[in-house]
Amino acid sequence: MAYYIGIDIGGTNIACGIVDDNYEIVARSKVKTNAPRPYAEILEDIKQSVRLACEELGVKPSDAASIGIGCPGTCNSDGVVEYSNNLGFVNVPLRSDIESEFGVSTYLDNDANAAAFGEYLAGAAKGAKNAVAITLGTGVGAGIIIDGKIYSGSNCAGGEIGHTVLVVDGRDCTCGRKGCFETYSSATGLIRTTREAIELNPDSIAAKIAEEDGRVSARTAYNALKQGCPVGKQVTDEFVKYLAAGIANTINIFQPDILCIGGGVCNEGDTLLVPLRKAVSEQVYTKNSAKNTEIVVCSLGNDAGIIGAALLCKQ
């Protein structure tokens, strides 16, 4: 039985897992990222996460067939993280630093790409030839699989679907553009839309829920919708409208077998999926085709990034 080490670096945690030939995580560890701080300090904690996971299984890092890393930002083919704004990395040689530490072949890719690869190998996109995975979190992350391979573009920065524009001169985006997909369809975008609606409707059920919770969350509008709140319906309808437009754009470009979506809002199940699938079906160019993209929810959760990273050697 071969073992593969996967490291998923996030803004909050560094998660490490050991994955077997069945694509199952058999040992894991988690260390706080505490970003931003110097690269050297974060690197030491990445190494420690590997050691802790190996200790749990009773193996040595050098026993692994390979090590894979999923890291936010632009990761080039030389194993260098050119830029990661959340981590504060600029041109850091992450792959070679890990490889030289443990003496194991090491692979590096963007974290969203790694998560998409995990869903393709062992999750909701298993069995697909072409797939796209979109995560609705702080932003809109995405990974694209074409003919079983991660598509990264000529500069290893491909797949930034969250930074395609839905509304020209719309909401300001952290990337410097206006009206990006993620400013409307991320969890952050949903929270903003909800907050704006509550400010206009301070006596609504949505406003009461937010007051009771002590904050506006990505669940506020959906919880209000379930209580018959018109504001909740207005906000969730608008959220689905923009999300459907972004997904339809993606399908029109790539025509994947499967498009899977992840993130906390997907826990709403059919309340989200039924109107979303209907709206997408009305917008895709191939609406009359005998074979259309299947829209499903990601099944691996936070494990997708670990599994996908661990198996980057399969690329």
> How does pLDDT run across 256-273, given as a tens digit for each residue?
999 999 999 999 999 999
In this predicted structure, what is the pLDDT of residue 174? 86
pLDDT beyond 80 at 37? yes
54 with 195, same domain? Answer: no
9 burial (CB, 10 Å; 0-12 / 13-18 / 19+) is buried
Cβ-count burial of 183 within 10 angstroms (0-12 exposed, 13-18 middle, 19+ buried)? buried
Amino acid at 258: I
Three-state DSSP state, 279: helix
192-245 per-position pLDDT tens digit: 999 999 999 999 999 999 999 999 999 999 999 999 999 999 999 999 999 999
Mean pLDDT value of segment 308-314: 96
- Indicate if 107 and 136 belong to the same structural domain: no
Rounded Cα distance, 81 and 71, in Å: 8
Examine the domain organization and report whether 186 and 111 are in the same domain.
Answer: no
| Strands 140-146 and 4-9, sheet pairing | unpaired
Q: Do residue 108 and residue 174 come from a single domain?
A: no
Is the predicted pLDDT of residue 155 greater than 90, yes or no? no
Q: What is the model's pTM?
A: 0.91
pLDDT attached to residue 229: 98
Domain count of the chain? 2
Same domain, 81 and 142: no
Residue 17 is encoded by which pair of tokens?
């897992």
Q: Are residues 248 and 271 in the same domain?
A: yes
Residues 132 and 116 grouped into a single domain: no
- 260 and 166 inside one domain: yes
Report residue 44 as tokens: 């030491």
Do 289 and 148 fall into the same domain? yes
Would you place residue 249 in the very low, low, confident or very high pLDDT band (cuts 50, 70, 90)?
very high
pLDDT of 32 > 90? The answer is: yes
Which pLDDT does position 287 carry in this prediction? 77
Q: Name the band, by pLDDT with cuts 50, 70 and 90, for residue 247.
A: very high
- pLDDT for residue 85 is more than 90: no
Q: What is the CA radius of gyration of the chain?
A: 20
Is the same domain home to 142 and 59?
no
CB-neighbour burial class of residue 108 (10 A; exposed 0-12, middle 13-18, buried 19+):
buried
Q: pLDDT class for 67, splitting at 50, 70, 90?
A: very high
What domain range includes position 203? 127-297
Q: What is the CATH number of the domain that holds 74?
A: 3.30.420.40
Query: Mean pLDDT across the stretch 164-191?
Result: 96
Look over the chain and give the mean of its residue pLDDT values, rounded to a whole number: 95
Tell me: pLDDT of 187 over 80.
yes
Q: 148 and 105, same structural domain?
A: no
Residue 68 clears pLDDT 90, i.e. is over it:
yes
User: Is 80 exceeded by the pLDDT of residue 4?
Assistant: yes
